[in-house]
């Protein structure tokens, strides 16, 4: 059987509400919900008063003790005292108690990073993932330091703080414009002289509003014996050799690939045998190979022979391959 609706006189309801009765009191008197009270008052054309939040009575001393002495959060203090978190916040503010940061209690994953001095190292368990070093580099960058990441074995890595990076040389666009227009240097020669990329030179010239000359065949004399001697000596990088000889770095790389002593690609198979013959912990040094993703060649070679190796640059022209567990 359906419940009978209570008979409510809207005008009587409006009169009681205008006499400062609250929604809760009217709902209790008439035995209906506060939603129905509000709807009937609006039907009678009543202007609803704005809701006024009732502040709970707070024991300020207890709230301060729970927050400061027991180190409870604002939310946990509110639950324990049976009031809202807003009341606890107002109580702490009125007592002049500074609130803790929400992240202050969190344990940092790598706390040693913050206290690491230049040249100092610490070892950690190798983080999970295919490229764990990138996450560590990002964490170091956020706190304003540079680090080196070295694999010790399959489960351990070493983190070393490095000196700050040297400031990048400032490029004078007007000087580049003078070299290009007044001295008629080519983009290749300007790039080699300033040890920057050709695309960078073009961008700076366009930025200064220089009209580009039509491309012409590149003319340079490459002393291959001199270049190979510098490469084998290993004292200069390819860019430094390009500046010294006036030969584009791209052409120096071609000379490097063509010589069996400076190109790992052309090394005879017995040279690779040095890697496959390594025991755990032993290393062998090579001249730096030519091309991109250099380390993958060594990793694939090791994988084919059922072993694991680490790959490390010693300088611009030498790499070291170490067998690891």
pLDDT tens readout for residues 193-234: 887 888 888 888 888 888 888 766 556 667 888 888 888 776
User: Which strand (E) or helix (H) includes residue 243?
Assistant: helix 238-245
| Pairing state between β 121-125 and 156-162 | antiparallel
pLDDT of residue 103: 57
Longest dimension (CA), the chain: 110
Phi, psi of 18 (to 5 degrees): -70, -20
Cβ(324)–Cβ(151) below 8 Å? yes
Residue whose tokens read 């014996």: 225
Rounded to two decimals, what is the model's pTM? 0.30
User: Which strand (E) or helix (H) includes residue 124?
Assistant: strand 121-125
Closest CA to 113 of 149, 140, 131: 140
Alpha-helix residue ranges (DSSP H) falling in 95-172: 132-142
Residue 306 has pLDDT above 70, yes or no: yes
pLDDT of residue 4: 47
pLDDT of residue 114: 78
Closest CA to 209 of 238, 231, 250, 180: 180
Phi, psi of 83 (to 5 degrees): -130, 180
What average pLDDT does the segment 33-57 reach? 80
pLDDT of residue 267: 47
Beta-carbon contacts of 125 under 8 Å, excluding residues fewer than 6 positions away, are 155, 156, 157
Q: How many residues does the chain have?
A: 325
Residue 1 has pLDDT above 70, yes or no: no
Whole-number Cα distances in Å, 18 to 32, 39, 52:
19, 15, 16
pLDDT per position as a tens digit, 64-116: 888 888 888 888 888 888 788 888 888 888 888 888 776 555 556 777 777 88
| Mean pLDDT for all residues in the chain | 79
């Amino acid at each position: 059987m359906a419940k009978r609706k209570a008979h409510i006189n809207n005008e009587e309801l409006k009169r009681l509400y205008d006499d400062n009765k609250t929604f809760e009191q009217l709902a209790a008197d008439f035995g209906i919900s506060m939603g129905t009270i509000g709807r009937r008052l609006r039907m009678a054309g009543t202007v609803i008063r704005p809701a006024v939040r009732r502040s709970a009575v707070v024991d300020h001393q207890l709230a301060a003790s729970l927050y400061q002495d027991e180190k409870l959060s604002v939310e946990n203090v509110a639950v324990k005292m049976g009031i809202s978190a807003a009341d606890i916040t107002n109580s702490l503010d009125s007592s002049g108690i500074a609130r803790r940061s929400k992240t202050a209690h969190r344990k940092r994953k790598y706390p040693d990073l913050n206290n690491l001095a230049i040249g100092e190292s610490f070892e950690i368990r190798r983080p999970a993932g295919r490229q764990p070093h990138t996450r560590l580099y990002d964490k170091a960058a956020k706190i304003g330091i540079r680090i080196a990441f070295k694999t010790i074995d399959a489960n351990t890595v070493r983190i070393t703080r490095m000196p700050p990076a040297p400031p990048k040389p400032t490029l004078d666009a007007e000087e580049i414009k003078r070299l290009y227009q007044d001295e008629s240097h080519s983009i290749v020669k300007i790039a080699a002289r300033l040890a920057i990329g050709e695309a960078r030179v073009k961008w700076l010239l366009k930025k200064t509003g220089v009209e580009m000359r039509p491309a012409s065949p590149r003319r340079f004399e490459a002393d291959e014996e001199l270049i190979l001697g510098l490469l084998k000596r290993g004292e200069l990088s390819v860019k430094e050799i390009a500046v010294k000889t006036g030969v584009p770095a791209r052409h120096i790389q071609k000379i490097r690939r063509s010589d069996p002593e400076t190109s790992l690609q052309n090394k005879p198979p017995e040279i690779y045998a040095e890697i496959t013959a390594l025991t755990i912990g032993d290393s062998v040094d090579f001249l730096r190979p030519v091309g991109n993703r250099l380390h993958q060649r060594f990793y694939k070679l090791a994988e084919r022979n059922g072993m694991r190796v680490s790959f490390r640059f010693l300088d611009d022209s030498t790499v070291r391959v170490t067998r690891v567990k």
